[in-house]
Structure 1
């Protein structure tokens, strides 16, 4: 009898815990991981200031990347619902980018944002 009670308690805890973790919640909930991936496609070293904001306008990430020519960085990510990014190259004018991934394209972990620095400017792309 005690084993049956212990087993049912353990099973109930597992079900409740999986609901709290957001299993199957998709892109809509908190806890989705979005990696920020700047890539330098120029032949010179750059300084890239990146600020990432949540849908409630709170600051999720404020980081300056120093990237040699031809290099990228996949070391930073945020766990939240991203609204937009503000990027500045070498201290110049800010570029604002709204986070609008194709949510059907990737799994529930979210789509990563690639910041592509090319000789003619900055562009953005999404990847899984």
Structure 2
């Protein structure tokens, strides 16, 4: 394994699942502005089993990627059932999980006034610093 990151299931239907994660997972070693040419995405499921995922979409500028698991056990998608407003300078937390042990990692920060222009209605940025650990 070269790189690991946490994701969240955003869609689950008919035996497949879509996972939103960091585009750092697919970024090229040689050129941060390109996707790696040869990838094998190993996904650790909640039951501890591993499966192979496929890159469906990615945006290296906004550091987001969607990984599809073509056949998987029933995974529950995150349910964003109502809109919540967070103002600038709100305290937030970023949470991740270690790949092998499943232990949680977390860091805190605040929301900033600098949302990405293209996705300003969908995304915001924070000062949370997530450490990059390469194996």
TM-score normalized with structure 1 length: 0.29
Query: What TM-score do you get using the length of structure 2 for normalisation?
Result: 0.28
Which structure is higher in RCO with an 8 Å CA cutoff and minimum separation 6? 1
Q: Which has the larger radius of gyration?
A: 1
Higher strand share: 1
